[in-house]
Amino acid sequence: MPSSEREGPETGVHPTLIDVGEATSALPRALTPMRPRLARRAFNSPEYIFELKWDGIRALVARDATGLRVTDRGGGDLLPAVPELRELRLPEGTVLDGEIVVCDSRGRPSYDLLAGRLGPKAAKRGRGPIFVAFDILYADGRPLLARPLAERRARLLGAGLGSRILAIPEHLDDDGEPFLEVVAEYGLEGIVAKKRDGRYVPGTRTADWLKCHVTPRADVVVGGLVIEGRGRARTVLCGLRGEDGSIAFAGDAYVPPYLGEWLDVATRDFAAERSPFATPVALREGLRFLHPRLVAIVEYAGLESGELRDARFRALRLDGHLDDCRRDTPVEVPSYPPHTTSDRPRLIVLNSLPFPVS
């Protein structure tokens, strides 16, 4: 008998044996979603497909032998915050990329309603939550990351995974300009253009994916507030990070009155004695500096001398990262004449939204 068969585990000579079935059933736990860059404008191109941009929280959903996981961009567990998604039914060995959304009474995704559900008061308003899956990264425990997007999309659409809490949106070939026009008509956030032959590279922000907003928006560092006498935030002082990690002042954002009192209370624990900005800021009555820990979504009309013009506070980003608060040089893509009128884009919008739109 060979020595390797005579010696038992008690001799300490045998290496530890690996259960191959268990090893292949586990999925990676450190995947970070691929991210889009900013397009200068909507465009038409046969190299791209176009999808809705969802006004939600980016998430990865995975099921393996250990169970279901729903994680945010940093790997944090989202299931305690969105327990409804525990009912998701996926085949073992599957990883999906997508967003968690809550829709308003007209069927449109609303980050404000989603943030209200996940905030301290947990107001259960809106329709959802729904996980909108727009990419499949693993199937049957095998990676699909190196496969072209068109193949991954076809596999996702053919997998039959749709349910009352999991939506699989459609996409439009070639024509981003008429698509964005229809998206604006329905009051939605924007579109994302993705190269049809592109691979999925986790953790990258790449020009293979390009976002086009209906109204320009940015993630900014909340560096301070201007508080009115009635204890209501009137203005957010916005910051953007430089390559050296410093935070430059990027202008003021108006706070709608209905959010002012809430924002004042929500940020009090972050009050600071000195400015977090590396560039000068004009002092004014009611100014409260904040430690640079919070990220806000703001909409704006344009940029002027490096500052946001006519900016408006939308919400605090629940999954915000300071590294996301950077100036993004827009990507210019050649555009071609569209192949379609608005009828096809309109159908894609209506078929993609998880609830009927009014």
Options 53, 194, 195, 211, the catalytic residue: 53
pLDDT in tens, 98-153: 999 999 999 999 998 998 877 655 567 889 999 999 999 999 999 999 999 999 99
Answer whether 339's CB lies under 8 Å from 177's CB.
Answer: no
Q: Which residues pair with 224 in a beta bridge?
A: 237, 289
The answer on 226 and 182 residing in a single domain is no
CATH number at residue 225: 2.40.50.140
Contacts of 13 (CB under 8 A, 6+ apart): 7
CATH number at residue 170: 3.30.470.30
53 is catalytic: yes
The answer on 96 and 185 residing in a single domain is yes
The answer on 255 and 174 residing in a single domain is no
The two structure tokens encoding residue 352: 């993609």
The one-letter amino acid code at 137 reads L
Outline where the chain has alpha helix (H). 3-6, 20-25, 111-118, 149-157, 176-185, 257-266, 343-352
Task: With respect to residue 21, please indicate whether it lies within any of the assigned structural domains.
Answer: no
The two structure tokens encoding residue 118: 């996940």
The answer on 210 and 251 residing in a single domain is no
pLDDT in tens, 144-200: 999 999 999 999 999 999 999 999 999 999 999 999 999 999 999 999 999 999 999
Answer whether 254's CB lies under 8 Å from 313's CB.
Answer: yes
Answer whether 291's CB lies under 8 Å from 272's CB.
Answer: yes
Q: Which residues pair with 225 in a beta bridge?
A: 236, 288
Beta-carbon neighbour count of residue 56 at 10 Å? Answer: 24
Task: With respect to residue 158, please indicate whether it lies within any of the assigned structural domains.
Answer: yes
Task: With respect to residue 47, please indicate whether it lies within any of the assigned structural domains.
Answer: yes
Closest among 265, 213, 263 to 237, alpha carbons compared? 263
Above pLDDT 90, what percent of the chain?
80
62 lies in which domain range? Answer: 30-214
The answer on 225 and 196 residing in a single domain is no
The two structure tokens encoding residue 90: 């996926």
The helix/strand/coil state of 307 is: strand
Closest among 216, 339, 237 to 282, alpha carbons compared? 237
The helix/strand/coil state of 302 is: strand
Closest among 114, 108, 54 to 357, alpha carbons compared? 108
Mean pLDDT of the chain: 90
The number of folded domains in the chain is: 2
pLDDT in tens, 254-311: 999 999 999 999 999 999 999 999 999 999 999 999 999 999 999 999 988 889 999 9
The answer on 276 and 131 residing in a single domain is no
Task: With respect to residue 278, please indicate whether it lies within any of the assigned structural domains.
Answer: yes
Beta-carbon neighbour count of residue 337 at 10 Å? Answer: 7
